[in-house]
A and B are shown apart, each in its own frame.
Chain A
């Protein structure tokens, strides 16, 4: 039981970095960025290849992060310079990344069994119980990234980035190059996603070309769960909510797995969670209309 809990916490924290990235684009920048599936795998692929080749795992993780920054920038350039729609820009980068990720790894998957990873290094350096090493490392990294994101969004550039997602016309009239803001937001977001992929690969001790499939929806589900349960009154609260959403989401998955659902049904379940969340305002509206009609009040009155 305790194992299951730490397992959930590990996963929730490491994936939370990806969820923060999804939050930055989908919620703050209001940009439906589909690069995520590709950049998550890219992070795992870069980190695993460098570690497998005997490289320093910390360096491998940083390089993975930079790969994500670059991937996000590509989507940004497609959208802002060439005026390709946000959805298509993301899909194009994601599709391209599929080939790139295979090139990076040189095969469909890499095993890191018994390899030296940031997690083993961190655990032994601090003489931690290996059972909790990932959780402690995850808490530190998520804490650092979360705080950094919060502080960044409160800077002059950060406010301009938020406003780009909120009211693009207004912030342009205030002298901000909104194209540059989108580029920056997309790069940062995918940097976080790749970092998440790099850490997840090291934690599960393998990377494969399909590890990012469905990541966007998993990220969205986590964001939605967190926002609904914890709230969005302030930026600080929302960032905490998003991280908690990731942990809760992984917990739900672990639970239904225990209840006998096949792991291959995860994605369907995730899609259902997102559908329910996105459809509920509409359903609520219908329901209220129906109630009014029963009372004999015209809904238009």
Chain B
């Protein structure tokens, strides 16, 4: 389904700030895999998602999506296959446009856009139905500007937008990290529900180790631009948060105890 072969990414190459953000990453996802991706700050998780989405090209390696080599495609040409939700709720929606306008733009993700009127009666009713499923009361606010919504509402809306037409691949980058605990849980539950319903192949970045083991079907850990751990199935079922921490220490050669964020985000 998704296949990365020897992908690397260097930021600020040939300067003193040179940073090898992705170091020869190879990763292969099967149809329906729900990967939780963990790793310390600066491990390269966001960079990995950005390279897959085509925000910037990798400096080495190839990326295949459903057997198709997408390495050289610009972001907007991959978008039809990839749905995304970002950490920052402001990033995934257009604040000065209405809820229904945002939805209709997402509905056309990856399709040809023409000089047809964008929103019709039919779509409105359907959007309302979909919004109702979020359970946040957004179905009554179709014509409200998105900038007026709360962070949680915006994030739930972004999630809906990313999955309104079924993406081949869903990329979630700490999409609940900036929400309060209760809203974060609502959005996470929504995520699991949508992913299960549509049987989406998904990568979800998280800093919460427990989440990394309980949510999804597979756990991948990164450290300094490399994949240091990749577990699924029975092996994953047996693993506890403590095991995960120990394994990480062994694989990466550093102590997790010093990594404040990994521990803090419980």
Contacts and interface: CB of A to CB of B under 8 A. Distances in A.
Contacts of A152: 115
B79 A175 contact: yes
B93 A170 contact: yes
Interface residues of A, number: 23
Contact of A162 (B74, B80, B97): B97
Interface size class of B (residues with CB under 8 A): 20 to 34
B114 interface: yes
Interface string A170-199: 111111111000000000000000000000
B91 interface: yes
A157 interface: yes
B79 A170 contact: no
Interface of A is mostly: helix
Interface in B111-151: 111, 113-119
Contacts of A177: 74, 76
Given A155-B115, A157-B114, A163-B105, A175 B77 contact: yes
Interface string B76-98: 11011010100000111111110
Nearest to B104: A159
B110 interface: yes
B37 interface: no
A155 B97 contact: no
A262 to B, nearest CB: 40
A152 B96 CA distance: 17
A174 B79 contact: yes
Interface of A: 151-152, 154-160, 162-163, 166-167, 169-178
23 contacts: A152-B115, A154-B118, A154-B119, A155-B116, A155-B117, A156-B113, A157-B113, A159-B118, A160-B105, A162-B94, A163-B97, A166-B95, A166-B96, A166-B97, A167-B95, A169-B91, A170-B91, A172-B76, A174-B110, A174-B161, A175-B80, A175-B110, A178-B76
